Structure formats: structure tokens, C-alpha cells
Amino acid sequence: MAEQIGFIGLGVMGRPMAKHLVAKGQTVLVHSRSQRPIDELVAAGATAATSAAGVARQSTVVITMLPDTADVELVLTGPDGVLAGLQRGAVVIDMSSISPVATRRLATLVAEKGGTMLDAPVSGGEIGAINAALSIMVGGAEQAFARVKPILECMGNPERIVHIGAEPGSGQICKVCNQVAIGGALAGVSEAFALARKTGVDTSRVRQALLGGFAASRVLEVHGERMIKNDYKPGFRTRLYQKDLRIANETAAANAVAIPATALVTQLVNALVAAGGADLDYSAIGTVLFGLSEGKRS
């Protein structure tokens, strides 16, 4: 039986994701805080709902794509939220990047209403969403994952949709690990380029050479090029990465895990935001280190 999909949150990421569902023949009901993206999705073939509860009443699968933990909690548990209208047997897929602790609590509330919750945060940024090439990290019941995998494949790269574990929050933990790993790589590339710049060595040639050895990475390939070109048009905004690092530090503290390198990256990101770079691509943390090495303020 075909699923009736509800999609809540039509921001920078959610809008193209929902559009892919419509384009690939899925029946989609949408809701968002802003009317403009709703109108855009309706023009593409979706149907609009007036509330999150209204979405849930008509949907067998409810997808949320929202900025932060508090937003997801409000949309799910608010007075006119998803839980107020959730069908028994429905699957709630939260594709936001939020607290694993909150995710476990929300999964329990969904289960009490007779539904199943999957946490399925993504990696790939706006470009990945536009190209339906997102990596998707899924936590929750394997049976529910198998049921909704064809839906996830409409929005992500099928080879990069991974069921992380049956425990609620597993996907969010994986996303935290993703952001931690990226932060370390970003800082390393930034420091390498700062050294090259200060000594007068061509950073583009340094990047070319490093891509041929063990230092090669997607961060060096993609974000290294951004740093060389001084092009920080956002694919993933610094303010959102700041939020993800806050979650990473909170999660590490809750589990007694030391992440000192991430703590340093967090301060670089904080400095960039303080200098007015909140809406630049997060690779712009390189500018903080470049400024320090050149005796300038970021």
C-alpha cells in the first residue's frame, strides 16, 4: 500500500527534499511556518495542511526537517502538534539534527501513541538536498527502516542511506560523530593553508599535492577549494554548524567522553559567528586562522 507522506519544515533543506518526493510520485501533505514554500510545494503537486496535527491525521509517514531540538519538540508535542493527530502504526521520521537525548524521549512519546519514530539526520548540505544526494544516518527499529527506505531513497543517495542501529538516537549519535570528524578536518586544512599562505607558498598547489596522498579528504577537496577562492557562499551555514557543535559537546559531556579537538573547533566557530560570519559557509572558519596568522582580527 502506498504511503501518505506528511512533510513538516520547508526551509533551505526541507523544501528541495519535499520537492523530490513529489517529483518521484509520492503523495505529499506539507506544513511549514512560512507560507511561501508551502505555495511552492502546492504548485509542484503537494497538498497543504494548516497544522502539524492536521498533517499527522492524514499521514502514514510524517517527516520533520527543522532547525533545532526545541523546534522538533514543539512540532511533535505542542498543543496542535504531530502527537495530537498521529495515526496508530504511523512512522515519524525526524531528519533534523538534534539532541540524541531528546530524540530518545520523543521516540518514547511516539511509541505511547502507537507509532514508531526513526531519527534520520542527513549530511550533504543544501547541494545534497537539491541533488537528492544526501547521506542519511538512521536510528530506530529495523522493520520501520525497511518500510520507509524507498521514501528515503527519493531524497538521498541509496548507497549512503545507512541503518546505524535499532536504538532510538543512534542516527543522531552518528550525525554528531560526522560533525566532530568534519571539524577536525576543517581545522587541519585551515592550519595547513594558513602556514602555506604565511610562507608565501601557493595554497592551490599545496592542495593539489595533498589530494594525492594520505591527507586527501572531501574536506580538503571541497572546502579547501572554497578557502583558496575565498568563496563562502553557504552550502551549510556556520550558525547551523555552531548548533551541531553545541549538541556534540553536550552529548560528549553526557557520556563522559573527552573531545578536546572539537572544543577548540567550537571556539573557532564562535569567533567566526562573533565576527559576523553566521550566514557564511562553515568552511569560513579558515578565515579565523588566516587572520590569526596574519595578525588580523577575524
User: 135-176, pLDDT tens digit by residue?
Assistant: 999 999 999 999 999 999 999 999 999 999 999 999 999 999
Q: For residues 101 and 69, give the distance between their C-alpha atoms in angstroms, rounded to a whole number.
A: 10
Tell me if residue 24 is catalytic: no
Backbone angles phi, psi at 124, to 5 degrees: 135, -15
Q: What pLDDT sits at residue 295? A: 81
Q: Determine contact, residues 93/148, Cβ cutoff 8 Å.
A: yes
Q: Catalytic one among 149, 175, 229, 243?
A: 175
Q: Where is the domain boundary, 167, 201, 229? A: 167
The helix (run of H) or strand (run of E) holding residue 134 is: strand 134-139
Whether 298 maps to a domain, the answer reads no
Q: Do 137 and 196 sit in the same domain of this protein?
A: no
Q: For residues 15 and 219, give the distance between their C-alpha atoms in angstroms, rounded to a whole number.
A: 26
Average pLDDT of the residues in 29-41: 96
Q: What pLDDT sits at residue 298? A: 46
pLDDT at 78 over 60: yes
Q: Where is the domain boundary, 115, 137, 167? A: 167
Q: Do 100 and 11 sit in the same domain of this protein?
A: yes
Number of Cβ within 10 Å of residue 69's Cβ equals 22
Q: What is the pLDDT of residues 243-298, one digit of tens each?
A: 999 999 999 999 999 999 999 999 999 999 999 999 999 999 999 999 999 886 54
Q: Do 204 and 80 sit in the same domain of this protein?
A: no
The helix (run of H) or strand (run of E) holding residue 223 is: none
Which parts of the chain fold into alpha helices (H)? 14-23, 35-44, 52-57, 69-77, 82-85, 100-112, 125-130, 142-152, 170-198, 203-210, 218, 224-229, 238-254, 260-274, 285-293
Q: Which domain CATH number covers 276?
A: 1.10.1040.10
Range of the domain at 131: 4-167
| Average pLDDT score over the chain | 96
Q: For residues 205 and 222, give the distance between their C-alpha atoms in angstroms, rounded to a whole number.
A: 15
Whole-number percent of the chain with pLDDT over 90: 97
Q: Is 202 helix (H, G, I), strand (E, B) or coil?
A: coil
